[in-house]
Structure 1
């Protein structure tokens, strides 16, 4: 990949004076690249995100639509999806030596009812979470897979996650850790009121339908990749399936998945 046009996407809350953004910009301009700060365009060859995992998730929505690879520079706490730290910018030279690889991450299409258009499609790199519309209330949730009843949970909510999202909220809720090269969809209940409720993993080719199934269920709240909650009317069914989009991540070296996992989570524990 020839890199000529670079977009920097900084988290301004973590780079208040813009000094980190300036450091990165200077590296790319010294290599003859055209650097812009802000939005990805059709001319973009590479998008560089300065922030943490939240910043990466927001950037992935636009980058995946255009097939633009992302490189994450961690300014956050864990930065599981980022590839390098702000104190190790020398590694950027490897981009111009061709010493990197592009890792494709599976995404989800999340299709929700919409009063105006009938349905609305959202795209998730990490997860979709369905919970009660009332913060302190549990919800009775059913999950159908390929048209057949699969599981039912009485819980605070459920998390439908990609392998990338398995190390995020799903992990906190006791879900399985999944190698990102495995294509599948996991379903994990949040604080289920049951001794037998367990997470489940389905094929990436499956189509899941999620719905409130209690007789007295009111509105439900859906969040996608930690975004603003969408209130769904009673009886709504949310469809989740593998997306045709992927998120492309720049990777240096070939660290095994388990090694990266242990490193990132141990760094978090010692912060």
Structure 2
């Protein structure tokens, strides 16, 4: 296996584990390449002198590597996935964040994880991706999201009105702060914090979760993964935000229609023995804990 090392260079905690992994990979004779941002950071810290580093940008790193190792949190893994485009190179998330639903390998487990990959003792999960078309600008001409696509008010007072159809059939006009269209992967992200359901990754579904709806009878709904959703922002006098996996565009044009449906490609995640979505839920959300157990 050829490993591609990438991550979030703004996190001070990544440099020691990255340097240690480089040292270990070199001692094992395993080939690897390193993202240019990490190479520059290692050099600035005097940690890149012992080995010749194959520095590559995001796309070149993906094309070279058999497995990408993403150092950071879930946000870092999302950025890595988008920076490398719609490639199918599997990604292993190394958690240096807080929750870590996507980046679920801790740094202490890293060398054991690579050894398991070398032994072929791993699986690859294909995660559903949403494709978004529409909008007046090239940024939204054709986008995709691993977690969610969000239409949200920009912070100005007042609600926004979003007409939604599913497979050509009217569903609802949402009067709310916004609307989240999420994958099962994204069900534990913004949708969860807005009251949406948790969906296991293997479920073929799209979730619509309103953000602070004006009408209390409006609730999240789970749609088939084959659904085609059209969302139209009604005429109004305030700007609004459209965001794919947290990358936002401020829009002032109203009456725009966005189409959301399953994309042709997937994002592939490396999963190791002992890893399971339910285990992650129990650990990260502290399910099964009693108050007397404490929270440390």
Per the normalisation by structure 1, the TM-score is 0.90
For 1:190-214, what per-residue CA distance to the aligned partner results, in whole angstroms no more than 9, with x for missing partners? 111112011111111111111223x
Match of 1:156 in 2: 177
Shift of 1:217: 4.9
Q: Partner residue of 2:93?
A: 72
Counterpart of 2:196 in structure 1 is: 175
Aligned pairs (5 A) from 1:1-271? 3-4=1-2, 6-15=3-12, 18-38=15-35, 39-41=58-60, 42-63=63-84, 65-91=86-112, 92-115=114-137, 120-213=141-234, 215-231=235-251, 233-266=253-286, 270=295
Gap regions ≥5 residues in structure 2:
36-57, 288-293
Shift of 1:18: 2.2
Q: CA deviation at 1:15?
A: 3.1
User: Which protein has the bigger strand share?
Assistant: 1
RMSD of aligned Cα (Å): 2.2
Matched residue pairs, number?
Answer: 265
The alpha carbon displacement at 1:153 in A equals 1.3
Kindly indicate whether structure 1 or structure 2 has the higher relative contact order, using CA contacts under 8 Å at least 6 residues apart.
1
Q: Structure 1 residues 75 and 16, CA, compared in 2 at 3 Å: closer, same or farther?
A: closer
**Cα distance, 1:138–1:15 mapped onto 2, change above 3 Å:** same
Q: Is the CA contact (8 Å cut-off) linking 1:64 and 1:246 kept in structure 2?
A: no
- Per-residue deviation, residues 121-156 of structure 1 (Å, max 9, x unmatched): 111000011012344332111111111111221111
d(CA) in 1 for partners of 2:171, 2:85: 30
1:217-241: CA deviation from partner (whole Å, max 9, x where unpaired): 5432101101133425111111111
Q: Name the counterpart of 2:50.
A: none
Displacement, 1:56? 0.7
Deviation of residue 256 (structure 1)?
Answer: 4.0
Q: Which runs of 5+ in 1 are unaligned?
A: none
- SS of the equivalent of 2:280 reads helix
Moved over 4 A (4+): none
